[in-house]
Chains A and B, each alone.
Chain A
């Protein structure tokens, strides 16, 4: 799934690196779980993806939206924009371990691949907050653009990307220095961002221009704009990087992008107001905000394999799948 050179480059002791690879290899190891934030019922629905059953409903802060599950850290981090904090759920117990103040409107959230850092977009204060994933201490507040929304981290952990929604740019943050180093132009109103597993491509989902900006992460410039459906909100990339799936909130569909050609090759009907989306193995998981459910799709055919009920107003905005 990941190139071998990552092992050699890894700054972490070998056992940790092996654990990381095992955690990410998913289908081969333990069955993963989905952690779906429910903004209307103020909780997180935990779904066992082996049998599509709800195994826990975890009360968190008020109006949870963003989520980042880190198998490496053994934790799920959840943003609560209305209570202005972050809930930390232990993957082993499905209990809240800690609740940490997180600015004035935390929305987007992502973790470093090695599980060492948590990055939170502080919507009203135009900052990216950096937390230690182990101690939950706040380490830095990095000024970014206006209305920061989605966050993604490069597989190397060296760069963090933030969608500056109201500036129509993507902020590139140097994770070593905790400082913004570039602003890459995106489309109109970028909300979600996601990185390809090899780190070469960044996909910015533009809510108002109904398209996806494909960014070359090395050159830090856009290389393509892919029109998708009405009001796109979330994106996820397959492990091989060959397909990108995008939820279209007002079309109740998912666009399937061929990442080699940067064009839509299929449009799949899903539920009402699809938002959060994740890919694991040969399946795509879609959170439908209007219908309060999680759809399990076959990645190749787009066929719905299962429907799992969630809490109220489910969003799952972020990387919501992981294994304890």
Chain B
């Protein structure tokens, strides 16, 4: 009984201590697009418009457009959902950052992301998408589908898939 109680207390404590115990991970993906930075920025700058260029996103519903604090709910084509809040938006630097609510379709927690369009060489655009996150499982010894590798793989997939499709659309 005492052992059971100790276990229950430990489980309770574990569920409270979210994130930061494990190791924060990051992914940065870039793509060079043969189009002007302005044209590429115009394609990606709408916080409500990810479905216009990301092949995995079916639709997005936003609360306040591309204003800071706006919340978008992404419906994925495979049925999942991701809720994200716009944290910063810099039109002149062509970049914005957002943070995801935990418990969405991606196996991550405490996930934040920044999309930036820069000038590449020879009039091209260089798009950088970077994210910082923890795995979905907050404690030691995670199951394989919620470990660091699973988290990195999922975010890498989201960025690569999105950037490849963006390049395709812009260079058509």
- A residues contacting B by CB (< 8 A) are 39-40, 63, 65, 81-82, 104-105, 107, 123-124, 126, 146-147, 149, 165-166, 191, 230, 250-251, 272-273, 289-290, 313
Shortest Cβ distance from residue B24 to the other chain A in the assembled complex, whole angstroms: 7
The answer to whether residues A126 and B24 also contact, given A250-B97, A290-B130, A290-B132 and a CB cut-off of 8 A, is no
User: Are A82 and B16 in contact, CB atoms less than 8 angstroms apart?
Assistant: no
The answer to whether residues A105 and B16 also contact, given A124-B140, A273-B132 and a CB cut-off of 8 A, is no
B contact residues around A40 at 8 Å (CB)? 23, 26
Chosen A-B contacts, 17 in total, with CB atoms closer than 8 Å, are A40-B26, A65-B23, A81-B21, A105-B21, A123-B21, A124-B14, A124-B17, A147-B17, A147-B20, A166-B17, A191-B20, A250-B87, A273-B132, A289-B26, A290-B132, A313-B23, A313-B26
By beta carbon, the residue of chain B nearest A62 is B23
CB within 8 Å of A: which of B126-142? 130, 132, 139-140
Total chain B interface residues with beta-carbon distance under 8 A: 22
B contact residues around A313 at 8 Å (CB)? 23-26
A contact residues around B22 at 8 Å (CB)? 81-82
CB within 8 Å of A: which of B1-35? 13-14, 16-18, 20-26, 28
17 further A-B contacts with Cβ under 8 Å, apart from A81-B21, A146-B17, A273-B26, are A40-B23, A40-B26, A105-B21, A105-B140, A107-B21, A123-B21, A124-B17, A124-B140, A146-B13, A165-B20, A166-B18, A250-B87, A250-B88, A250-B97, A289-B132, A290-B28, A313-B24
A contact residues around B112 at 8 Å (CB)? 250
User: Are B20 and A272 in contact, CB atoms less than 8 angstroms apart?
Assistant: no
* A279 to B22 Cα, complex, angstroms: 28
User: Are B23 and A166 in contact, CB atoms less than 8 angstroms apart?
Assistant: no
B contact residues around A273 at 8 Å (CB)? 26, 132
* A39 to B26 Cα, complex, angstroms: 11
B45 at the interface (CB under 8 A from A): no
User: Are B17 and A123 in contact, CB atoms less than 8 angstroms apart?
Assistant: yes
The answer to whether residues A230 and B140 also contact, given A63-B23, A126-B13, A146-B16 and a CB cut-off of 8 A, is no
Q: Which of B14, B26, B139 contacts A290 (CB 8 A)?
A: B26
Interface code B93-120, partner A: CB below 8 Å = 1, 0 otherwise? Answer: 0000101000000000000100000000
A contact residues around B17 at 8 Å (CB)? 123-124, 146-147, 166
B contact residues around A149 at 8 Å (CB)? 20
Shortest Cβ distance from residue A169 to the other chain B in the assembled complex, whole angstroms: 14
* A126 to B16 Cα, complex, angstroms: 12
By beta carbon, the residue of chain B nearest A191 is B20
Shortest Cβ distance from residue A64 to the other chain B in the assembled complex, whole angstroms: 10
* A216 to B87 Cα, complex, angstroms: 33
Shortest Cβ distance from residue B114 to the other chain A in the assembled complex, whole angstroms: 8
The answer to whether residues A166 and B87 also contact, given A124-B21, A290-B132 and a CB cut-off of 8 A, is no
A contact residues around B14 at 8 Å (CB)? 124
Most-contacted residue by chain A among B25, B28, B139, B140 (CB, 10 A): B140
Q: Which of A166, A250, A290 contacts B16 (CB 8 A)?
A: A166
By beta carbon, the residue of chain A nearest B114 is A272
* A82 to B23 Cα, complex, angstroms: 8
By beta carbon, the residue of chain B nearest A251 is B88
User: Are A123 and B26 in contact, CB atoms less than 8 angstroms apart?
Assistant: no
Shortest Cβ distance from residue A217 to the other chain B in the assembled complex, whole angstroms: 25
B contact residues around A166 at 8 Å (CB)? 16-18
The answer to whether residues A289 and B24 also contact, given A104-B140, A250-B112 and a CB cut-off of 8 A, is yes
B contact residues around A104 at 8 Å (CB)? 140
B contact residues around A39 at 8 Å (CB)? 23-24
* A64 to B18 Cα, complex, angstroms: 19
